[in-house]
Chain A
Amino acid sequence: MEAIYRDYHPKGVKFFYIYKTLAHPGNNGYVSPFDHEERLRHVTEIKEKLGSDIPWLCDNMSNDFKHAMGNAPNSEFIIDPKGKIVRSRSWCSPSELREDLAELVGEVKPETAEAQVGMSPLDPPKTAATGIVPRLKLEGRMTALEVVSRQNGGEPFFAKLRVEADESLLKQGDGQLYLGLFLDPLYEVHWNNHVGAPEVEITVRQTEVTPDRLRGPAVEEPSDADPREFLVAVKNGQPGETIFDITVKYVACDDKETFCKPVTQEYQVKLARDADGGSRRDAMPRSPNGRRARQPQMQDLNLQRARTMFHRMDMNRDGVIQKQEARGPLQWADLDEDGEVTREEWREFMRRR
């Protein structure tokens, strides 16, 4: 993307990354922001770490733009000078974007190669030690629930609550409720295990929650940044209606050791799917295309592999693999025997394998 930006920005094309809700909270250690200031801090973090030149726009906290544009996690659009959408892809594809821009604005020769851009990979944020408190092993599909955090005393949410339900709870009202307290690396804090474990209290009407008072494990290590996770059983919940009032108490200590203070924070959690809640990759095995709760399908794998291999071999990005670009004999994929392999031929070849 950065290479395309370098080629087309000088030709007057504007580029923006759109920051949206986290698709996979917990990946790289990042936690879903609770307010727009935290989102903007994520944007700053991405720009600094990646060294990207492309400017960012940040979606509002209602996620209006993500919803209006189809709610996909990594979609891509081209807007023409009249403000009309002229290209739309549900998953971004740099090679196809380059083809589109060549058609709309004109070809750029020579193209900037990815290697010339020299971007650094996104490293996880620095946190206190992790891997000390074992993670909960969850069975089956878990779905993020709608969580509303209540501002209490103006303290930031150093630790953020994520709540998920299994399918049975979400659909029938009886099942398992997952609660995870994740330290937000933006605040550079840790659990001080000598001053007490975090506590969670759940209050709900006409619904049984067992247990309804939870306490994090006793940990020998003086500090760590692992999530504190709990699983409770819920009976007689009303899908779409039941509201859990949850109070979380913990002591937040910053890594620079300038403060250590008790914090009490409150949440309201509705027994309803949060369409913007994303999915934790550590929650269960995932398929390579990022979708949850289904086994990888050969068709998906082959299509993805075909796309990646084609992109790697098509060195000059002209949408065709020529003899000199191929890393082996071409004749198996060259269906019309013209000495070149087009994208369609390659896809067909991979499908037949």
Chain B
Amino acid sequence: MRIQIRYAFQYLVFFALFTTSVLAQPGNRNRASFQVPKVGGALPEVSLWDQQGQPFLTKTLKEHYTVLVFGCLT
């Protein structure tokens, strides 16, 4: 019984520490909203432009292996 209470207390301490130190940070809330999609998951469907300025749908990226690399001028 005493051991169970000790485990319950440790769990509560861990939960309190975790929630106050990690979830309370605004930066982490931001990161949570921009999660990297999981390997094995489908590529998100988004409408982009191709380099000629024509609409391009990511859902058309099928039938081939495709490499996508994010970048910019700076």
Contacts and interface: CB of A to CB of B under 8 A. Distances in A.
Contacts of B34: 67, 70-71, 275
B66 A13 contact: yes
B20 interface: no
From DSSP, what is the main secondary structure of chain B's interface residues? Answer: loop
Size bracket, chain A contacts = 35 or more
From DSSP, what is the main secondary structure of chain A's interface residues? Answer: mixed
Nearest to A46: B73
Contact of B74 (A13, A24, A105): A24
Interface stretch (A14-22, A132-140, A224-232): A14-22
A324 interface: no
A287 interface: no
A58 B68 CA distance: 12
A12 interface: yes
B74 A25 contact: yes
Nearest to B53: A40
Interface string B25-60: 000001101111111111110111111010010110
B69 interface: yes
A267 interface: no
A65 B46 contact: yes
Nearest to A5: B67
B57 to A, nearest CB: 10
Interface string A192-215: 000000000000000000000000
A92 B70 CA distance: 8
B12 to A, nearest CB: 30
Interface string A24-63: 1111101000001101101111110000000111111000
Given A22-B74, A55-B50, A68-B46, A13 B67 contact: yes
B74 A23 contact: yes
A65 B44 contact: yes
Contacts of A55: 50-51
A81 interface: yes
A83 interface: yes
B41 A85 contact: yes
Size bracket, chain B contacts = 35 or more
A81 B51 contact: no
A81 B63 contact: yes
Contact of B49 (A22, A57, A72): A57
B47 A60 contact: yes
A68 B73 CA distance: 21
- B31, B38, B72, most chain A CB atoms within 10 A: B72
Contacts of B70: 17-18, 20, 66, 69, 72-76, 92
B65 interface: yes
A57 B42 contact: no
A332 interface: no
A104 B21 CA distance: 41
Given A57-B49, A79-B65, A85-B43, A17 B71 contact: yes
20 contacts: A18-B71, A22-B72, A23-B72, A30-B74, A36-B49, A42-B72, A42-B73, A43-B51, A47-B51, A57-B48, A57-B50, A69-B37, A74-B70, A78-B68, A83-B59, A84-B41, A85-B38, A85-B42, A86-B40, A97-B67
Interface of A: 1, 4, 8, 12-28, 30, 36-37, 39-40, 42-47, 55-60, 64-88, 90, 92, 97, 101, 104-105, 122, 273, 275, 278
Given A73-B72, A82-B62, A105-B65, 14 more contacts: A14-B67, A40-B51, A56-B50, A57-B50, A57-B56, A58-B49, A60-B48, A72-B70, A74-B69, A77-B43, A79-B61, A79-B68, A88-B37, A97-B67
